[in-house]
Structure 1
Amino acid sequence: MGRAFEVRKASMAKTNAKKAKIYGKYGKEIYLAAKNGEPDPELNITLKRIIEKARKDQVPNDIIKRAVDKAKSGVAEDYQAVQYEGFGPGSCTVIVECLTDNVNRSVSEVRNCFTKTDSKLGVSGSVSFMYNHNAVVSFSGLNEEETLEALLMADVDVEEIEEEDGMVTVYGTPHDLYNIKTVIEETKEGIEFEMDEITWIPQNYVELEGEDRERFDKMMNMLDEVDDVTNVYHNVKSV
């Protein structure tokens, strides 16, 4: 399988997290996007993108509405986006994104996940240089040539396009995510996106077996239990 398969597999795996955590994550992200811009998704592209993703992950409308209304009301909640990087079992690499109102709590809880699995939390930049930070959009309904032509005609630059098993995956810069989606939607009606997000993509993958795999799985489960953690990226090849 190619890189596109690994990226989509990782994305789909994230949707299996507990519903309560998913709802909490989107509640924070929607609140922040609405607070830092217009609380109207038609006037705030970032807010619109997050709401679209929330609905795709089956977040109830009342949770979305409460988060937007909270921002409109002027309620002050100071959330901060922080990122941690480190080395996991078998020398795999891990990037952990958090959205938190208490950085000291977050780093303590994330560090505990590393420590309890014989892993090591690194400094900023110790791992991320081995990843590409990309907007990734996957869909079916167009082929690679049609997709490239549409994006070129719209003057949207992309880094790479892959086609695998009828699924086209487009890689671009993070700020072009919405532009790529818009071009695809305007090219053909009814396109459904399997993946549309900004993500960290490892430049190389590793395979883990035995105790290393067990410790890695334990780390992933522990990080999933940390409320402040919003996304986890790693370079471990899917089983």
Structure 2
Amino acid sequence: MAGHSKWSNIKRKKTINDARKSKIFTKLVKELTVAARTGGAEPEFNPRLRLAIQNAKGANMPKDAILRAISKASSHDVATYHEVTYEGYGPHGVAIMVICMTDKVIRTVANVRAIFAKYGGSLEKNGAITFLFDYKGFFTIPSVDIKDYDNFTLGLIEAGAEALENNGAFAHVICAVENFGKIQRHLEAEYIAPTFAGLEYISHTFVQVSDATLPKLIKLIDALKDDDDVQKVYHNIAMQPDQEALWD
């Protein structure tokens, strides 16, 4: 029985991980298709597509799947997607920004509103929380790819980086939007391939929450991420070290 229980747990975790990977790939396919449709299918002439391909590779998306997503952009049967942003508050006044890619805005806003309401939050008007975030360039780099950390840091500063954080396995680079291309070219010149690169909303005003409130917020954010139309979710929760384990 113990062995059966162990296998059940392993199988459940694998199912969850497979489902999460499927969700990630679905979101990447949307971005690849939209990027190719709006800017053309040639990455060298389409910066958005080049970035989408880079992020898909960083997520270990198979090459064939990437090529299929790009080729879909020329098909008349593919839905036309629009990028929309929704803003709201979760329990304890936590600000939450939701970036969606949708072919039916009415469906998407109804789903997002329902998720906020179900988990004790509220959808607000656009502009309600944007002042709590900065729009920045963001790169994630495997630490093992950095051979000389001091020289690497100096080079990034010269290229326009504002901050460099290293959490052990990965280094995160933050820059102003106008310096995103400079950082990208600098990393290419150093033969460093980020696992993620893009423009992100980064909170500059944080909210601390209690251990009792955090699970409610986690359920809200996870439910938003699980929606097929949602691409990204940003929040301003100030995570305490002893709360990290609650975010599984």
Q: Distance in 2 between matches of 1:68 and 1:30?
A: 6
TM-score after normalising by structure 1: 0.81
Could you tell me which runs of 5 or more consecutive residues in structure 1 were left unpaired when the two chains were aligned. 1-14
Q: Which residue of 2 aligns with 1:186?
A: 189
Return the offset for 1:19: 1.9
Could you tell me which runs of 5 or more consecutive residues in structure 2 were left unpaired when the two chains were aligned. 1-16
Return the offset for 1:97: 0.5
Q: Could you tell me the percent identity over the aligned residues?
A: 29
SS at match of 2:183: helix
Q: Which residue of 2 aligns with 1:173?
A: 176
Structure 2 counterparts to residues 100-111 of structure 1, below 5 A: 100-111=102-113
Question: Does the CA contact (< 8 Å) of 2:161 and 2:176 recur in 1?
Answer: yes
Q: Distance in 2 between matches of 1:28 and 1:70?
A: 10
Between structures 1 and 2, the one with greater helix share: 2
Structure 2 counterparts to residues 61-76 of structure 1, below 5 A: 61-76=63-78
Return the offset for 1:91: 0.9
SS at match of 1:159: strand
Please tell me the root mean square deviation across aligned C-alpha atoms, in Å.
2.6
SS at match of 1:96: strand
Q: Distance in 2 between matches of 1:178 and 1:56?
A: 18
Q: Report the residue type matching 1:87 in the other structure.
A: Y
Q: Distance in 1 between matches of 2:211 and 2:18?
A: 24
Q: Which residue of 1 aligns with 2:225?
A: 224
Query: Compared with structure 1, are the counterparts of its residues 99 and 62 closer, same or farther at alpha carbon in structure 2 (3 Å cutoff)?
Result: same
Return the offset for 1:61: 2.1
Q: Which residue of 2 aligns with 1:146?
A: 151
Return the offset for 1:204: 2.2
TM-score after normalising by structure 2: 0.78
With 216-225 and 102-111 compared, the bigger mean Cα shift is at: 216-225
Q: Distance in 2 between matches of 1:117 and 1:169?
A: 31
Q: Report the residue type matching 2:111 in the other structure.
A: E
Q: Which residue of 2 aligns with 1:199?
A: 200
Return the offset for 1:66: 1.5
Equivalent position to 2:125, from 117, 123, 129: 123
Q: How many residues align?
A: 221
SS at match of 1:66: helix
Q: Distance in 2 between matches of 1:31 and 1:22?
A: 14
Q: Report the residue type matching 1:226 in the other structure.
A: D
1:157 aligns with 2:160: yes
Q: Which residue of 2 aligns with 1:214?
A: 215
Deviations 1:23-61 (A, max 9, x none): 211111111111111201122121011111011112222
